Amino acid sequence: QVQLVESGGGLVQPGGSLRLSCAASGGVFSGNAMGWYRQAPGKQRELVAAIITGGSTNYVDSVKGRFTISRDNAKNTVYLQMNSLKPEDTAVYFCNANLITYSSSRYVNVWGQGTQVTVSS
């Protein structure tokens, strides 16, 4: 079935870097936008970064200049490069995308399972 699988999360020291990957299976990317969200315990999920079909990107103010979202349509993969990480970046990160399924050509919005990013010394 259609699925988004995140990888690349883990424990990193402040100032370090991580690259998150979100690979789609069972379908191909569709729609105008895809993005990364994050949610810390007890807090609302927030949009961190989004990228549209034309390549334009948008970031929450707290990560501007530090995070970069990109995509590779040939690999059906979305990336989030995170540099200069801070403890306040600690959260579960989720990718989100619109896909056209291979099996039925259905248009679906899909969330990844989430990957934990912990920034701590």
Question: What are 91-103's pLDDT values in tens digits?
Answer: 999 999 999 999 9
- The rounded percent of the chain whose pLDDT value lies above 90 is 88
In this prediction, residue 98 carries a pLDDT of 92
In this prediction, residue 74 carries a pLDDT of 86
Rounded to a whole number of angstroms, the CA Rg of the chain reads 14
Looking at residue 85, the DSSP 8-state letter turns out to be -
In this prediction, residue 55 carries a pLDDT of 85
Q: For 53-98, write each residue's pLDDT tens digit.
A: 788 999 999 999 999 999 998 899 999 999 999 999 999 999 999 9
Instruction: Please report, to the nearest 10 degrees, the dihedral formed by the alpha carbons of residues 30, 100, 45, 87 taken in order.
Output: -70
Give the largest Cα separation in the chain, rounded.
Answer: 47
